[in-house]
C-alpha cells in the first residue's frame, strides 16, 4: 500500500506507475481516492470545529447554571445535543469513507523501481547474470519423475488415490535428499547470520490481506472452513505477520530471519497442475529468508539476498541465472523482484527455483509495522523476502544436473554429510 500523500501531491506519478504495470482499469481508483480523501478531510475539519464549539458551549452551560439562568442553559444544552448528533453523523460518514479509501489503496499497486524493465508479462523479463556453465550431457535425460521412479523415489499414483492431482509420495533416498537439501539450506542461512524460525502454518485473514494483494489471495490461499484461518502459501506470510501492529526498536534492525514451512497453494489461474510432475503442486516444503530493515538499507539487502540463493545453488554444482522481472510480472506489493532460474539439461533452458522481492514499505503499511528511528519517530519499516530453496522444484534441477548415464545421481560434497556420507544414489534394484 502506498502513502496517500503521493496521491495528494503527485497523482500523475501514481497513475503513470499503474500504466507501467498495464493495469489501466485501476486508474479510476486514484481519482476516487483523491475525492474521498477531500471529503474525509472536510468532514474532519467540520468535526474538529464542532467539537471546539461544543466545548465552548459546555463551558457556557456551567456559567449559566451558576447564575441560575436555567432556560438559557437549556437552550444551549439543545445546541450541544444537536452538535453531538452532527458529530456522530460525521464520525459514521468518516468511517465509511475511510473504509472505501483503504479498500482502494490496497488495490493500487506499489510504486516500482525506476530501472524495472517495462513489459506486459513474464515474456518481457530480462536476463541478468549467469553462474556456472550450463552443460548438456551426451545421453538423453528422462523426465524428472522417470528419474525418481528409477531411483525408487516417488509414488504419484498412490497420492492421486489419497489426495488427488498435484500431490506425491517421496520415498527412500530421494525423500532423504529432499530433507538433506532443506537441512543444508537451513544451516547455510544460519551461517550467514540469519535466525532460524519455524512459524505457524495457519494465519488469520487480516494477516493474509496484509501480506498480499486480493488477487493473489484468491488464487493461492486455502481457507479453513468455518474459521478465520488460512493455510500459508509460503512462510513469508506468517513471518511478516509476526510483526503486525508492532513498533520495533530501530537499533535491532535489520531483522534477518530464515524460516522452514510446508506450503499449500490452490494454484488457481496458474499454468495448471502437471499430471506427472512435481513442478507445480498443491503442497511442498520450503526454506525462506526474510529481512525487515530501514528504508535506506533495503536495496543493499535485496542484492545480498538473491546472491545468497545463487551461492547456495552453485555450491550444489547447479548452473543458475538471474532473471529480472518486468513491470507487468511484478505482484502489486513489489518494488522490484528477480527470479533465480536453474538450468534444465533436459529442456535445454532455465526455469524458476527462487524469487527475491523488495516490497519497500508496502507490506509494512498494510500491517502497520514501524520502527523507532534516531529522532524517536515511528516510521514504516521495509520488508524483503526470498526463497532459499523449495525442494520439489529444486529436486528437478538437482536430479537433471547430477544424473549419470547409468541412471544414478551423484551427491555433491556439501550435501554428503546430510546424506549419511553417501556420494551417489543408485538405481533401485
**What does the pLDDT look like over 280-328, one tens digit per residue?**
788 899 999 999 999 999 999 999 999 999 999 999 999 999 999 999 9
pLDDT of the residue at 356: 97
How many residues in total does the chain contain?
429
Question: What 3-state class would DSSP assign to 112?
Answer: coil
Q: Model confidence at 268, in pLDDT bands (50, 70, 90)?
A: low
CATH number of the domain that 240 lies in? Answer: 3.30.930.10
pLDDT of the residue at 273: 43
114 in a domain, yes or no?
no
Domain that holds residue 91: 4-105
- DSSP H or E segment with residue 146: helix 144-150
Per-residue cell: 242: 509476526
Query: 220 and 297 share a domain?
Result: yes
> What is the β-pairing status of strands 382-389 and 283-293?
antiparallel
Percent pLDDT > 70 in the chain is: 97
Residue 321: C-alpha distances to residues 118, 288, 305, 405 (Å): 20, 19, 14, 26
CATH number of the domain that 10 lies in? Answer: 1.10.287.40
Per-residue cell: 48: 474538529
Question: Whole-angstrom Cα distance, residue 131 to residue 128?
Answer: 10
Query: 151 and 16 share a domain?
Result: no
Beta strands in 109-245 (DSSP E): 126-131, 154-155, 169-170, 195-197, 202-203, 222-223, 230-231
111 in a domain, yes or no?
no
Q: Which residue has the higher pLDDT, 219 or 179?
A: 179
pLDDT at 271 over 80: no
Question: Whole-angstrom Cα distance, residue 309 to residue 322?
Answer: 10
105, 140, 161 - which closes a domain: 105
115 in a domain, yes or no?
no
pTM, full prediction:
0.89
Q: What is the DSSP letter of 107?
A: T
392 in a domain, yes or no?
yes
376 in a domain, yes or no?
yes
In this prediction, residues 176-193 reach a mean pLDDT of: 97
Query: 361 and 308 share a domain?
Result: yes
Question: Whole-angstrom Cα distance, residue 261 to residue 385?
Answer: 14
Instruction: State the sign of the Cα–Cα–Cα–Cα dihedral 182, 191, 248, 384.
Output: negative
Single out the residue of 10, 29, 50 nearest to residue 332, CA to CA: 29
In this prediction, residues 110-132 reach a mean pLDDT of: 96
Which residues partner with 387 through β-bridges? 288
Question: Whole-angstrom Cα distance, residue 323 to residue 40?
Answer: 43
Number of domains in the chain: 2
Cβ proximity of 335 and 110 under 8 Å: yes
DSSP 366-383: HHT-EEE-TTS-EEE-EE
pLDDT of the residue at 28: 97
* Surface-to-core class of residue 66, CB atoms within 10 Å of its CB (0-12 exposed, 13-18 middle, 19+ buried): exposed
Single out the residue of 229, 21, 234, 7 nearest to residue 116, CA to CA: 21
pLDDT at 128 over 60: yes
Within 10 A of 426 (CB to CB), how many other CB atoms are there? 15
Amino acid at each position: 500500500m502506498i502513502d496517500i500523500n503521493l496521491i495528494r501531491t503527485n497523482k500523475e506519478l501514481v497513475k503513470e506507475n499503474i500504466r507501467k504495470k498495464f493495469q489501466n482499469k485501476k486508474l479510476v481508483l486514484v481519482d476516487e481516492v483523491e475525492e474521498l480523501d477531500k471529503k474525509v478531510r472536510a468532514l474532519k475539519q467540520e468535526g474538529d470545529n464542532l467539537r471546539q464549539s461544543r466545548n465552548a458551549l459546555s463551558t457556557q452551560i456551567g456559567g449559566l447554571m451558576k447564575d441560575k439562568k436555567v432556560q438559557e442553559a437549556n437552550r444551549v444544552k439543545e445546541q450541544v445535543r444537536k452538535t453531538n448528533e452532527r458529530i456522530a453523523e460525521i464520525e459514521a460518514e468518516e468511517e465509511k469513507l475511510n473504509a472505501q479509501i483503504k479498500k482502494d489503496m490496497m488495490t493500487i499497486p506499489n510504486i516500482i523501481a525506476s530501472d524495472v524493465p517495462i513489459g506486459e508479462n513474464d515474456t518481457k523479463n530480462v536476463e541478468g547474470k549467469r553462474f556456472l556453465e550450463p552443460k548438456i550431457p551426451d545421453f538423453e535425460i528422462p523426465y524428472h519423475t522417470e528419474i525418481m521412479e528409477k531411483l525408487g523415489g516417488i509414488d504419484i499414483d498412490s497420492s492421486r488415490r489419497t489426495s488427488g492431482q498435484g500431490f506425491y509420495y517421496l520415498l527412500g533416498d530421494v525423500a532423504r535428499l529432499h530433507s538433506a537439501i532443506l537441512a543444508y539450506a537451513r544451516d547455510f542461512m544460519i551461517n550467514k547470520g540469519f535466525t532460524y524460525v519455524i512459524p505457524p502454518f495457519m494465519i488469520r485473514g487480516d494477516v493474509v490481506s496484509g501480506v498480499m494483494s486480493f488477487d493473489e489471495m484468491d488464487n493461492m490461499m486455502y481457507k479453513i472452513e468455518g474459521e478465520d484461518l488460512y493455510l500459508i502459501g509460503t512462510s513469508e506470510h506468517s513471518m511478516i505477520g509476526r510483526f503486525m501492529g508492532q513498533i520495533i526498536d530501530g537499533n535491532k534492525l535489520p531483522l534477518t530471519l530464515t524460516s522452514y514451512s510446508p506450503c499449500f497453494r490452490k494454484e488457481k489461474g496458474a499454468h495448471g497442475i502437471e499430471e506427472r510432475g512435481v513442478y507445480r503442486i498443491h503442497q511442498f516444503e520450503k526454506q525462506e529468508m526474510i529481512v525487515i530493515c530501514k528504508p535506506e538499507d533495503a536495496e543493499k539487502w535485496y542484492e545480498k539476498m538473491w546472491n545468497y540463493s545463487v551461492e547456495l545453488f552453485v555450491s550444489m554444482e547447479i548452473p543458475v541465472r538471474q532473471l529480472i522481472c518486468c513491470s507487468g510480472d511484478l505482484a502489486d506489493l513489489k518494488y522490484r523482484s528477480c527470479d533465480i532460474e536453474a538450468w534444465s539439461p533436459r529442456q535445454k533452458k532455465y526455469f524458476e527455483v527462487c524469487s527475491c522481492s523488495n516490497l519497500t514499505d508496502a507490506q509494512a503499511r498494510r500491517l502497520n509495522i514501524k520502527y523507532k528511528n534516531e529522532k524517536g519517530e515511528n516510521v514504516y519499516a521495509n520488508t524483503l523476502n526470498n526463497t532459499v530453496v523449495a525442494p520439489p522444484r529444486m529436486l528437478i534441477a538437482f536430479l537433471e544436473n547430477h544424473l549419470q548415464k547409468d541412471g544414478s545421481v551423484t551427491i555433491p560434497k556439501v550435501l554428503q554429510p546430510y546424506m549419511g556420507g553417501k556420494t551417489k544414489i543408485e538405481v533401485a534394484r
